[in-house]
Amino acid sequence: MDKSQPILVTGAAGFIGSKTAELLLDAGHEVVGIDNLNDYYDVRVKQYRLDQLQGRAGFTFAPIDIEDLPAVKKLFGKHAFGAVINLAARAGVRYSMENPHVYMTTNAHGTLNLLECMKDHGVKKFVLASTSSLYAGQPMPFVETLPVNTPISPYAASKKAAEVMAYTYHHLYGIDVTVLRYFTVFGPAGRPDMSILRFIKWIDEGTPIELFGDGSQSRDFTYVDDIARGTIAGLKPLGYEIINLGGGNNPVSINAMIECFEQHLGKKATINHKPFHKADMKETWANIDKAKSLLGWEPQIDPFEGFKRSVQWHVANRDWIKEIAL
């Protein structure tokens, strides 16, 4: 990727977006980051991530919402982008059932806004964040050729819409598209609506954990640094490809994750079991052969090492984390 042109990273104050921007800057790229800093979860977490980027050479930030087409058009008129990495999204399976409209307007329509501006300004590379949630009900390990036409949440449906819109713009206008389906991304400064940060905080504070199901459900946990590396690797010209970024090993159960947190905190969890949520998946497991062959990518951080680092980050930041609403 030509370093003379800036890369647009949307969702730059988000969990994956901020780490991706950081690694791009480390590699000498100029990064323009945008984020609407919405309050889906505590904005202080987003501001913390943004603070790590602000002031770094080569980084420019603008508080822009990808749903705001006039603002996005103005941004594209100001910068000659070499590529767009779209990490701005409404996340969260359960909340998408409560407020489905915002998922479509951000995840689908926002993606369309970016593609339109790319077409108009001749920007030829698009990296789109998608999700393993699309694989619900399919045989494991999930491979990219599976038909993902039965999403079980508005979140997954909105991501499918973004994927197929990106294909349309590839077909019509020659935009080179890499769609990355992420598998349970976690790590320091993660999303406070996800179980990792919540469980660590609750165990540390002695607050009972709310656990949906019996804890036997499992996830293909993938450390955020690995995901950011894979996202940047996706900048290479590929035509139109959908690629899994996941752990690629046997999934880790929620119970095993909790036990790891207990070990590193030196405290026992109190668990309140709740019924399994029908929009949740019992298990996720990625086939990552395509990522290995096309991107030369595979994860480097073991989930349990990542859990340890997440606990260490929490302990180092617990003075302000204690104020965060979960």
User: What pLDDT, in 10s, does the model give residues 266-312?
Assistant: 999 999 988 876 666 688 899 999 999 999 999 999 999 999 999 99
CB atoms within 10 A of CB 100: 16
Q: What pLDDT sits at residue 279?
A: 60
C-beta separation of 26 from 43 below 8 A? no
Question: Would you say residue 34 has pLDDT above 80?
Answer: yes
**Alpha carbon distance 73, 78 (integer Å):** 9
pLDDT value, residue 282: 80
Cα distance between residue 69 and residue 199, in whole Å: 38
Q: CA–CA separation, 310 vs 197, rounded Å?
A: 8
Check residue 40 and give its pLDDT: 85
pTM for this one? Answer: 0.95
By residue count, the chain amounts to: 326
- Find tokens 């590529």 and name the residue: 83
Residue 233 predicted with pLDDT over 80: yes
Q: Compute the distance between CA of residue 289 and CA of residue 5 in angstroms, rounded to an integer.
A: 31
* Tokens encoding 321: 């984390």
pLDDT, tens only, 44-62: 999 999 999 998 999 999 9
Mean pLDDT for all residues in the chain: 94
Mean predicted confidence (pLDDT) in 94-101: 85
User: In 3-state terms, the chain is what percent helix, strand and coil (to 5)?
Assistant: 45, 15, 40
Q: For the beta carbon of residue 35, count every other beta carbon within 10 angstroms.
A: 24
| Gap between the Cα atoms of 137 and 274, Å rounded | 22
**What digits encode the pLDDT tens for the residues 247-271?**
988 799 999 999 999 999 999 999 9
End-to-end CA distance of the chain: 39
CB atoms within 10 A of CB 241: 18
Q: Which residues are catalytically annotated?
A: 155
Please compute the mean of the pLDDT values over residues 160-187 and round it to a whole number. Answer: 97
Domains and CATH numbers, the chain: 7-191+222-249+285-301 (3.40.50.720)
CB 109 within 8 A of CB 67: yes
Residues 113 and 8: beta-carbon distance below 8 Å: no
Cis geometry, peptide bond prior to residue 141 (ω within 30 degrees of 0) = yes
Say if CB 304 and CB 310 are below 8 A apart. no
Confidence of residue 35 (pLDDT cuts 50, 70, 90): very high
pLDDT of the residue at 26:
97
